[in-house]
Every structure is written in C-alpha cells, then in structure tokens.
A and B are shown apart, each in its own frame.
Chain A
Amino acid sequence: MIDGIVALYIFMLAAFTGYEIIGRVPVILHTPLMSGSNFVHGIVVVGAMVALGHATTDLERIIGFLGVVLGAGNAAGGYVVTERMLEMFKSSKAGPKKSGH
C-alpha cells in the first residue's frame, strides 16, 4: 500500500519531471510531443486490465472490457500516429537540401 504522503511525493516529483521535459521544446516538436505524451498515458490500459481481471459481476466485466478496449486503442493509436509524425523528421533530414539551421 502506497502511503498517502509517499504518493504525494511521487505525484510532485513526476509533475516536476513532466514540466522539465517540456520546458525548452522547439515549436516544431509541439505536435509530435503532444502526440507522444498522448501515447504515454496509454499506460492506462494496464490499469484497465487489472480492473477487468478482478471484475466479478457482468456489469464490471462489460465496463472493464470497454476500459481495456479504450486503453489499448489509446496506446496503439498513439504510438502509430506519433511514429508517423516523427518519420517526417527523418525524411527531411536525410533529404539533399538539409543544411542545418
């Protein structure tokens, strides 16, 4: 059991980490980064799996099932979309015209 105050520390440190990561990001990366962070909260699928795994009534099972479907959609879709956006960075970098800025 995570103690309340320990949880508070974890929340606080994680929040600072998130803040620091985005702090100095060039505008061109805002969209991929938003998409990337959208993928990361797809970790919710893990929680939905646990919830479904411990469901005992049909109502819980249905909601848990929907939870896993939605969470897995978040993770898989978020990954593909982010990867496709970041793919663009490679193609233009490898392009003959690229000369840095």
Chain B
Amino acid sequence: MNLNLQTIINICYFAAAVLFIIGLKRMSSPATARGGIVWAGVGMLIAVVATLFTPGLHNLPWMISALVIATGLAWYSGKRVPMTDMPQMVALYNGMGGGSAAAIGAVTLIAIANGTELHPTTATSMALALIGSLIGGISFSGSMIAFAKLQGWMDRRFTFPGQQIFNLAVFAVTVALGVWLFISSDNLSITVIVAFFVLAFLVGLLMTLPIGGADMPVVISLYNAFTGLAVAFEGYVLQNEAMIIAGMVVGAAGTLLTQLMAKAMNRSIANVLFGSFGAGASGEAQSIEGAMKAIDPSDAAVMIAYAERVVIVPGYGLAVAQAQHKIWELTQQLLKRGVKVRFAIHPVAGRMPGHMNVLLAEAGVPYDLIADMDDINPEFALTDVSIVIGANDVVNPVAKTDPASPIYGMPILDVDQSKNVIIVKRGKGTGFAGIENALFYKDNAKMLYGDGQDVASKLIAELKALD
C-alpha cells in the first residue's frame, strides 16, 4: 500500500516537472506568457498536495500552519506592493527560497549527526547537501540585502579598505568548514554545522554590501540562479526528482538571464561582483565643457508641440515619481496634434531588464510606441526633441568618449544626436553610478527642473493652452 502511494506521489512530481517546463516555455513568448504562470502554478499545487500524503510524514500540524501562514502573508504582500517595487519583491521571495534550501540542508546534516537520516548518506549526497546549503545560504542573505537596498532601507554601498581580501578570507574559511564537515560525516558536530551556516550567511551579506543599486538587477538574477542550483542539489539529497529538474532548469535559465543582463550593461558578472561601480575609475576623468541651461515648462511645451518627431526616454526616476500615467497623458496630447512620439527603452532601464516596459504597459502605453535601444538609436538624428525623464547614466555620452569613465563602453541611447534634448530632473545630482553627465552640458540640451509628475502636468496644461 505504502509503495503504491509513493508511486502515485512520484507520478505527481513528474507531472509537476513537466508543467513547470511548459509554463516557463509559455512565459518566454508574449502571446502565451499569461497562461504560462497558470500551468506552472497548477504544477506547484499538485506537488504540494501530493507531498502532504507522503507515507510516514510527522509534524503535520506544524507543516500545515507553516504553509497557511506563509502563503497568506506572501500572497497579501505580493498583491499589495506597487508595480515599481516588484524587483525587490522578487529579491525577497528569491531569498526565501534560498533560505528554504539551506534549511533543508541544515535539517539533513543534523539528522545525519543524530543518526536519523532519511536516506543512506553517500559521498555525493553529503557533498551536494553542503554545496546546496552554502549556495542557498548565500542566496538567502544576499537577496535580503538586495531587498533592503532596493527598498531604500540601506545605504547604497558599503565599502572599507581590504574588503575583497576580507571577503575572500571569510569565503575560504566557510569552504574549509564545509570540507571539514564532509570529511567527518561519520561524526558530525552540531557546533561546526551551526558555524558553517552562520558563515554562509555572512558570505552572502559581505558579497552584496559593496554592490551599488545600478547593479542590483544583475545581482538578483544571479541569486535567482543560485537558489535554483541550491534547490536542485538539496533535491538530490532528498531523492526528489521534481526539485532536481525545476531547480536545475531555473539554475541554467537564471545563469543565462544574468549573462544577458550583464552584457546589456557591458560588464562581466565578475566585474559586477568584485568591482565596485563608480568607485575606482582608472585615471583622470575628462573635464566637461559648457554649462547647464534651464528651460521653463511653457517654452518646452511649445518646442514639443511643433516638433515632428519626439522621443521620450524614461528611466527609473519616472517610476519613482509615479509619472508614467501623466507621461502617457502627455503623449496622447502630442499624438492628437500629429506629433510622432515613441518611447526609447534602454535594456537596463528600471531595476530589472524589461521593468520599464511593464511600468509603461501598466500606464496603458501601447507596445508599438515602445522601441528598444537598437531600433531607436539610428532614429535620434531625425528626432526634433528627445525628452529624458528620470534617466541619467544610460544617456551619458561619456560612455562613448571617455575611456577613463567607469561606464566607458556601456551601450547608451544616442539622445545627444537629436536636435534638441529636454532633461526633466529634480536637481543637479548625478545618477546611480555617481558620474557627471556630459549630455547636460551640450549646446542642444536644456534642463527642465522639477518632479517628473509635476513637470508632465505642467506640460499637459501648457499644451492644452496652445489650442
């Protein structure tokens, strides 16, 4: 009887793995994306319900209360957050997954120490339990720091002299403890196990602290892949095929996604992790010639009202100011006047690739008005007015002209090629990378100071007054 039940459960896990793959596949195409998450969701539900019937499972009241409490809280928080805060929620939930994988590793190791392990311990399962715990632990604490940074609870970067050597030393000690546990698997000490986990968490914390906000998308994506791998490894330890397959698929997909993102910023993953952005540019940065010129909303309105082509370049500042709805209203005003308006999206605009597209879609901007960098760059020379709202580093021509600049080589939107540029900005500060923007000093650039939403409202009012 028990054997039969276990077979049915295994079939459920198999079905879940298939549903996950179909779901992810559907999510990778715009037409089927919405259904994809439902497929994967059904797979998850099947797997969780099947697991509840596993023969010989104890602590069921604990288990069910944990499931109910966590599902309720996560569901509520996920429903409630504004769209702009999505990236940190992804970081948070991802960290939880990493923590869960680490917890599985910890319980397994403690069970081995007590001689009550579920499956006979082999060298492979011991090694994977330890590696999974380490990766899961790093993903847990690292994602939590990423969450705190994106949420604005923490200073953007935290650095001290000798940081990399210190971090490397902590990592080496952690690995050494892991090797010690591996060698002494017949006689595990709980103290060493605890020390191992504390250090694994510390590694994730130390690794993430010096990384600036601009690099967070890459980091979250990397930790997403980490959690996937940790889940796959702990899945092997528990002899659970669904965990192995789902974890490995996510691990591979996440790794590729991380590479794509890093490439979009023209940086290597190693560079993101170990080179603090904007901290140590080699050599003297070129000095910037010219002065910033301000423009007021009424002049700006006239400029765009009689333009033939206008390109709007939104950045994260637009989302922070919650200005996407007003910008769409402004766009509609311009379209009504016969102005050709397009939105230009840099691959890393927002806090994750594609984040800005989601935010614009939320405001109702149709997709055919949104262009990506490669499509729009040749068109800037034909553009009468470019409006830059809340974007900074991604339009900085220094990335092309100054080899000493930390962002040198990063592909940018060639906004400076258009006849006029209006930069909507709250003050004279620098972007996330902390670099002066040469665009602001160009002859064709005008600064329109103010909050994004405020400025958009004023422009709309001025446009209406022109009729």
- A: residues with CB less than 8 A from B are 1-2, 4, 7, 10-11, 14-19, 21-57, 59-61, 63-92, 95, 97-101
Contacts and interface: CB of A to CB of B under 8 A. Distances in A.
B73 interface: yes
Given A21-B24, A56-B111, A70-B103, A31 B354 contact: yes
A40 B354 contact: no
A56 B60 CA distance: 13
Given A29-B354, A43-B231, A51-B108, A17 B75 contact: no
B89 A77 contact: yes
Given A15-B252, A40-B246, A61-B62, A69 B93 contact: no
B30, B52, B347, B365: residue with the most chain A Cβ atoms closer than 10 Å: B30
B382 interface: no
Interface stretch (B172-180, B253-261, B294-302, B384-392): B253-261
A37 B228 contact: yes
B292 interface: no
A94 to B, nearest CB: 11
Specify which of A15, A27, A38, A83 lies most central, judged by the most chain B CB atoms within 10 Å of its CB.
Answer: A38
Interface in B229-274: 230-232, 234-236, 238-254, 256-257, 260-261, 264
12 contacts: A15-B249, A19-B253, A27-B354, A29-B30, A40-B246, A41-B246, A42-B93, A51-B238, A54-B56, A65-B59, A80-B79, A88-B358
Contacts of B56: 53-54
Given A38-B94, A56-B111, A77-B78, A14 B28 contact: no
Given A84-B79, A99-B366, A33 B101 contact: no
Interface string B39-73: 01100100110011010111110110011011111
B96 A70 contact: yes
Nearest to B352: A31
B213 interface: no
A69 B86 contact: no
B364 interface: yes
A27 B352 CA distance: 10
A81 B86 contact: yes
B289 to A, nearest CB: 35
A41 B97 contact: yes
Given A22-B256, A26-B30, A73 B74 contact: yes
Q: Looking at chain B, what size class is its interface with the partner chain?
A: 35 or more
Contacts of A83: 37, 41
Given A33-B28, A92-B365, 7 more contacts: A2-B239, A22-B257, A27-B264, A43-B44, A43-B243, A68-B67, A81-B81
Contact of A47 (B62, B221, B235): B235
Contacts of A50: 51, 54, 57, 118, 238, 240
B77 interface: yes
Contacts of B245: 10, 14, 17
Contacts, number: 394
A17 B252 contact: yes
A11 B232 contact: yes
Contact of A75 (B44, B73, B86, B347): B44
Interface stretch (B15-23, B278-286, B401-409, B416-424): B15-23
| Listed residue (B81, B111, B361) with the most chain A CB atoms within 10 angstroms of its CB | B361
Contacts of B148: none
Contact of A74 (B60, B86, B94, B254): B94
Contacts of B40: 36, 39-40
A65 B246 CA distance: 22
B86 A35 contact: yes
Contact of A41 (B69, B228, B256): B228
A28 B372 CA distance: 9
Contacts of A1: 119-120, 239
Contacts of A73: 70-71, 73-74, 93, 96
B3 to A, nearest CB: 15
Given A32-B358, A49-B63, A67-B100, A60 B58 contact: no
B54 A25 contact: no
Interface string B148-179: 00000000000000000000000000000000
B247 A43 contact: yes
Contact of B99 (A17, A34, A66): A66
B339 interface: no
A101 B369 CA distance: 9
Interface string B86-112: 110110111011011101101110110
Contacts of A22: 28, 252-253, 256-257, 260
Given A72-B74, A79-B44, A52 B66 contact: yes
A29 B75 contact: no
